[in-house]
Amino acid sequence: MERLAGTQSGVTSTAASSVAGVQSVMSNGVAQSEATTPGIRIATSNLHLTSAAGTPTTRLTPAADEAFDLAKASESRADGSVAAGDVLPQTTQAKEVDGENQISAADYNPNEDRKHDHERLQRLHAQQHPSSTVEASQTEIAAGVGEPGPDIVNVDAEESEYEEVEVEDEDEDFDMFSMDEPKKKKTIRRKKEKILATGATAAPLIAPVPVIPALQVSHLVDNYDDADGYYRITPGELLDSARYQVTTNLGKGMFSAVVKAKVIKAVDGDEVLGQEVAIKVIRSQESMYVAGRKEAQILAKLAAADPGDKKHIVRLIRTFEHRGHLCLVTESLSMNLRDVVKRFGKDVGLNLRAVRAYAHQMFLALSLMKKCNIIHADIKPDNILVTESKAVLKVCDLGSACEATPDGGEITPYLVSRFYRAPEIILGLPYDQELDVWAVGCTMFELYTGKILFPGRSNNQMLHLMMDLKGKFNHRMIKKSKFGELHFDEGMNFRSVEKDKITGQDVTKTVIISKPSRDLKSRLLPPSSVQMKMKDDELKLITDFIDLVDKCLVLDPAKRLTCRDALLHPFLGGGGTTA
């Protein structure tokens, strides 16, 4: 949800060194790229994958004498042939499909859907736990709308590591006429001290955040925070003992506000003077702090498992505390993939070779998270950033991320943003990293077409759209699911909740689904007249792409493609290393 954006400066990314896809020719460590209209053209010499044995494999980029375009070509080549990915079927270009409006990936704003999902989650908690509606609502807000990570929502285990103590308020204004009055006290929240073998106490990894009683120090809230606990950030403001200077306010999400800042005081060699960084300022709520600390721990774990920075996860540099807010400092990047589509492929999508390069990098990120037993739980174009050259991407915003558990995690129907939400989440089944594979499949379709694949207004309609494309769920999944009875009757027929065209009210209709009414080929494969003009290798490229997306969207997560299988798929080279 959060956008950690900015310009890549002072941070040299080595992420593309083993990556299939677009990588600028490197000269003296600086990426050289040439922007053109309508797309970005990037020189791509000396680019290839190596297999686990170290032997060259199929290129995932154009040949050395070709250029890489983000945008689709507007005209045929001189020889009359058409490149794969340049032409979409009419059904995909149409404004409606089967009477339903298609949603442009470029124009979609997830904030409104997050609001609706939050309201639905509140109602669900009210029905299931009438006596704890307020407490449940607070937990939902803390966890983020539509993205409550299992290890974030349930913070009892985290709380056992902390204690609340009273200390004298050193910030209290001096009053010469009140010398005899005792000093006021304030409550702070700190990590319990651990006694080392030497008898010394261990310092906490991340500084504790004070718990500020709102009634006692409301003037501080008025000065520093808004009513929702977001820190009021001012461009030019100095943070962390004048180590950073804020340059741009990038906006805010459910967990935090994000700024771009410049390093004006380099300390301990962690950063370079003048380097641009992104700083995520967590909201000043105790549960938010726990969530932010969890995200920092997960990022640190992933970075430790990827010392060469080759797996495309945003790098956490350090953390600090500022006026009661936990702050996460990360490398600074450029626009997110939704903005890339908006700029270079609005309503038509990106060139297929660009999609292939980005897909490979996304699956490398998933492979690292799988290795570290981490579920991202909110993969979507908004949470994937690119470098300034657009050649390399990084998966970011792990505010919803959690560790995979043997029992399949806490069941909630609103994990992951709705358009990218896997069916096992909606049905209430145990889940693992396969929910991220589903989200990447939706994202690949979106990058290539410029359209949302499953634009459901609710979880119920999401299931309907999924079955239109993939057929009916097997009865075993429905019977084992926690929320199956909300969407299926006793005969396993789908209970479709639709808007009455006259009254506008929701009505439930029984729909018998036996086989898919749509297929990916009709949405992705160019017309036969265009196929005849395509070269054989490019026709194979588009059919391989359709096959990969199709396997990412298998309804049963147990039969869905794994990230390792994806990296070995023909569309991604069929032999790239997954280590």
Other residues' Cβ atoms within 10 Å of the Cβ of residue 66: 13
Cα(285)–Cα(291) distance, integer angstroms: 10
Q: What's the pLDDT at 408?
A: 78
Output the pTM of the full model: 0.73
Q: Given 69, 117, 309, 378, which residue is catalytic?
A: 378
**Each residue's pLDDT tens digit in the chain (579 positions)?**
444 433 333 333 434 433 333 333 333 333 333 333 333 343 333 333 333 333 334 445 333 333 457 887 755 555 556 665 577 765 665 565 555 666 777 676 665 565 555 555 555 556 555 554 444 443 333 333 333 333 322 333 343 444 555 555 544 444 444 444 555 555 555 444 444 444 444 444 444 434 434 333 334 444 789 888 899 998 999 999 999 999 999 888 888 999 999 999 988 777 899 999 999 999 988 889 999 999 999 999 999 999 999 999 999 999 999 999 999 999 999 999 999 999 999 989 999 999 999 999 999 999 999 999 999 999 999 999 999 999 999 999 999 999 999 887 889 999 999 999 999 999 999 999 999 999 999 999 999 999 999 999 999 999 999 999 999 999 999 999 999 999 999 999 999 999 888 888 899 999 999 899 999 999 999 988 889 989 999 999 999 999 999 999 999 999 999 999 999 999 998 744 444
Distance CA 75, CA 82 (A): 8
What whole-number distance in Å separates Cα of residue 73 and Cα of residue 487? 43
Task: Give the pairing of strands 201-202 and 194-195.
Answer: antiparallel
The structure tokens listed for 475 are 């009865």
Q: How far apart are CA 275 and CA 263, in angstroms?
A: 5
d(CA 127, CA 120): 11
DSSP H stretches of helix in 56-149: 90-93, 110-128, 133-143
CATH architecture of the domain 15-108+336-572 equals: Orthogonal Bundle (1.10)
- Identify the pLDDT of residue 81: 61
Secondary structure (3-state) at 130: helix
If you classify domain 238-331 with CATH, what class do you get? alpha beta
113 annotated active-site: no
Distance of alpha carbon 460 from alpha carbon 192, whole angstroms: 45
Give me the residue spans of the domains in the chain: 15-108+336-572, 238-331
Q: Contact 201/193 with Cβ under 8 angstroms?
A: yes
pLDDT score of 539: 92
Report the distance separating Cα 557 and Cα 104, nearest Å.
Answer: 27
What confidence score (pLDDT) does residue 179 get?
44
- Angle between helix 536-552 and 434-449 (nearest 10): 140
